[in-house]
Amino acid sequence: MNYKMTPAQVQSAIREKLSHIYGVSAKNASDDEFYKASALVVRDLLVRGRDEFVHEAEKQETKQIYYLCMEFLLGRSLKNNLFNLGLEDSFRKALSEMGVKLDNLYEQEPDAGLGNGGLGRLAACFLDGLATQGYPAMGYSLRYEYGIFRQKLVEGWQTELPDFWLPGGEVWMQKVDESAIEVHFDGYIEEQWHDHYHSVRHKNYNPVMAIPYDLYVSGMDGKGISVLRIWRAEANEFDMKLFNSGNYMRAMEQKAMAETITKVLYPEDNHYEGKSLRLAQQYFLVSASVQDIVRRHLYTHSSLDDLPKLAAIHLNDTHPVLAIPELMRIMLDECGYEWDAAWDIVTRTIAYTNHTVMSEALECWSADLFKSRLPRIYQIVEEINRRFWIEMRAKGVDEGKIWRMAPLNDGYVRMANLAVYATHSTNGVSALHSEILKDSVFHDFYTEWPNKFKNVTNGIAHRRWLNQSNPELASLITELTGDGFIHDAAQLEKLMKYKDDTSVQKKLAEIKLHNKQRLAEHVKRTQGQIVDPNSIFDVQVKRLHEYKRQHMNALHILSVYQWLLENPNADYTPHTFFFGAKAAPGYYFAKEILQFIVCLADTINNDPRVNQKLRVIFVENYCVSWAELLTPAAEISEQISLAGTEASGTSNMKFMINGAITLGTLDGANVEIHDAVGDDNIILFGMTTPEVNSLRASGYNPRNQYEHNDIIRKAMDALGQGFNGKTFQNLHQALLNVDQYMALADFASYSHAQQKAEQLYKDQTKWNSMSLVNTAKAGIFAADRAIRDYANTIWLAKPVETKAETKKK
């Protein structure tokens, strides 16, 4: 499809939307109305492009990719779609002639509240990569009314407020009422389990309607368009009989309980009601999505026999794993398949990506809760489990091993076990992570089915995180190497010939300074804090969790603060440390770490003895839009998780492509970054994964670090005493007595790495050369490459051929 529009055509289209949709003239329209009108113009283009793309895919019988994930962290859509469709210049000129600034319209759009962290951002990047590579794809998730919470800091403590994102974000959604689906909870089983599975019926008293809304994500040049279908929960119907009989509250309660399912992303689950709601969310997502997939397939095919050939269903982490028993339910109860035939189709269609190396983080559900909310699905899981035991015993597998692998054991439904057993592929998301899965987390499964296990290292939408977020750097790369890297990130390698070119290094330094100045202005405007753009920008932004070790970073900053007070005339390159993170609402220890960082920042920033040399900025309500400012400005990328705990990471890739130097452990994709850039262009510290395992096995005692390292002891004592009237005894005692993620064990090595970074930074020629190498070597971390890996090794899918590509053949 040709997406080109002249400025005159853009103006005409915007005026039409303003008049017919919003009832205003261009002369009287607000920036918000101009933003929404522009969004609708772009959405119309995307809908037409998607229709053409799907038509061509159906003609070629291309395999459909269905990507299920509890979250998609899209960020803003207007800028991304205008860039990918090549329309930004036309819109900028058209709007300028109408007296409107396009950049002001970008600011009208809220970040879509559909995700939280790396998992959701990865899914969003993959929609871009799927579209650009020409794979027909649909993402499936939930239409969270409030999404992830809006973070507000009150005396340093995280407070969660609702994120009202829909008023500005809804314009991108196309409601599809005719595709609504009924999802069933609770109820009872009509018949006892027997061999005629298709005759078993689940009687339901509590149906909920899943109303679909479609968002469109363009690939580069609009070659392909991905769709993200998100489901809103609504009551099936309002019970007038109940209401008219005087049971007003009961009638309203039924409606409210149904709609609660899609109110909030990740409700607290440290109580029964929260666990029940999370389980309901997960089943609501998979039931609506799998029913939709089956309906789409049967619209053009007579049976589900060829589903594995024409569809790939991908489960991004354990949240959507109930897709397995749900697809079995549909095939058994609604399509009349016998068990073995249904199981064969299900296992060849569905694949699973694991995102954690920590076995304690693998999702489990109480069998009692599961059975009460999803009786038919539980019954199917029981039968999967029964047959699993028969299969394993027939193979002569040890009973203890079978028990560890079983989908149902010890009173719990074990989602990861179910996923690995019932899918044809399980992949990790970095080379190290995938090896850990085979060696420890899923070792039992690996010994039985080694061919199931694969690796696909994560990737990022490099056009968004380089071209859109850092246009000056993208322009320089185009000037030096051409624009081939936009479609093929591997061509960034061409930059290597400029590694020692001082004129290029100077330009890189100027671009970095401009990005730092842009960030400093934004921080001052939004948070009222002063930042020195000539200081080192050291950045750690990611979900707040103990294993990511934000507290180690902060403890080191505290030690630097103490050192500067003792050595006021010391030669120290000014530093600004940036943090951005949200802690899960029920994760109180993470909230204490966050409060420690904020209180430490207040203490340092208000101390005139040091605040010209050292500043700490905590970005409130960190989100994609903040990341798009922080990433191009960063000079040091903090990737400091304990080795063997981070599956991959993607912020490390975003910082790398923008020329930041990774300061990190050999964990997750840092290992592959190190392989790409070499020893001289990364700053490594800390124990390796085998060393961590060895220390843990020998009996790690953090008090040894405290007692034998004066710097650690002084910093820890200050932590125990607290700041700004706040005490941090819980954090102090946890580090001193447990230190689960060995922050004190790695502290000395981390401090040395920070000193090394400061010394390297003083040689700007060397530093800028390192920065260039990082950008040049980042091509392998593009989402486009990751999608090709999935397509070639897991989905066995080919992209849609354009007419031009077909003619070339």
> Which residues are tagged catalytic?
355, 542-543, 548, 650, 654
Q: Which two structure tokens, joined as six digits, stand for 33? A: 């109305």
User: H/E element holding 568?
Assistant: none
- Among 136, 119, 31, 115, which Cα is nearest to 78's? 31
What pairs with residue 213 in β-bridges? Answer: 175, 230
Q: Got the DSSP string for 177-205?
A: GGG-EEEEES-EESS---S-GGG--EE-S
Q: Say how many residues make up the chain.
A: 809
Judge contact between 459 and 125, C-beta under 8 A.
yes
Q: Which two structure tokens, joined as six digits, stand for 122? A: 């990865």
Alpha helices, DSSP H, located in 261-351: 272-300, 307-310, 323-329, 339-349
- Phi and psi at 723, nearest 5°, equal -140, 150
Neighbouring CB atoms inside 10 A of 394's CB total: 8
In whole angstroms, give the CA distance from residue 134 to residue 798.
Answer: 8
* CB contact set of 501 (below 8 Å; sequence gap of 6+): none
Q: Which two structure tokens, joined as six digits, stand for 567? A: 């050595």
In whole angstroms, give the CA distance from residue 154 to residue 602.
Answer: 13
What pairs with residue 667 in β-bridges? Answer: none
Q: Which two structure tokens, joined as six digits, stand for 302? A: 């007579």
Judge contact between 688 and 666, C-beta under 8 A.
yes
Q: Work out the burial of residue 456: count CB atoms within 10 Å of its CB; fewer than 13 is exposed, 13-18 middle, 19 or more buried.
A: buried
User: H/E element holding 747?
Assistant: helix 743-762
Q: Which residue has the tokens 């990719």?
A: 65
Judge contact between 314 and 419, C-beta under 8 A.
no
Distance in angstroms between the alpha carbons of the first and the last residue of the chain: 20
3-state secondary structure (DSSP) of residue 709: coil
Which residue type does 730 have?
N
3-state secondary structure (DSSP) of residue 542: coil
In whole angstroms, give the CA distance from residue 614 to residue 624.
Answer: 26
Pairing of strands 350-353, 426-428: parallel
Q: Got the DSSP string for 115-157?
A: --SHHHHHHHHHHHHHHHHT--EEEEEE--SSBSPEEEEETTE
Q: Got the DSSP string for 221-273?
A: GGS-EEEEEEEEEEESS--HHHHHTT-HHHHHHHHHHHHHTTTBSS---SSHH
3-state secondary structure (DSSP) of residue 616: strand
Greatest alpha-carbon span in the chain: 83
Alpha helices, DSSP H, located in 301-374: 307-310, 323-329, 339-349, 367-373
* CB contact set of 502 (below 8 Å; sequence gap of 6+): 765
Rg value, the chain, Cα: 27
* CB contact set of 633 (below 8 Å; sequence gap of 6+): 512, 515, 516, 518, 519, 537, 539
Angle separating helix axes 550-566 and 710-721, nearest 10 degrees: 100
Neighbouring CB atoms inside 10 A of 489's CB total: 23
Alpha helices, DSSP H, located in 437-570: 443-448, 462, 471-481, 502-527, 550-566
Q: Is 686 left (phi over 0), alpha (psi -120 to 50) or beta?
A: left
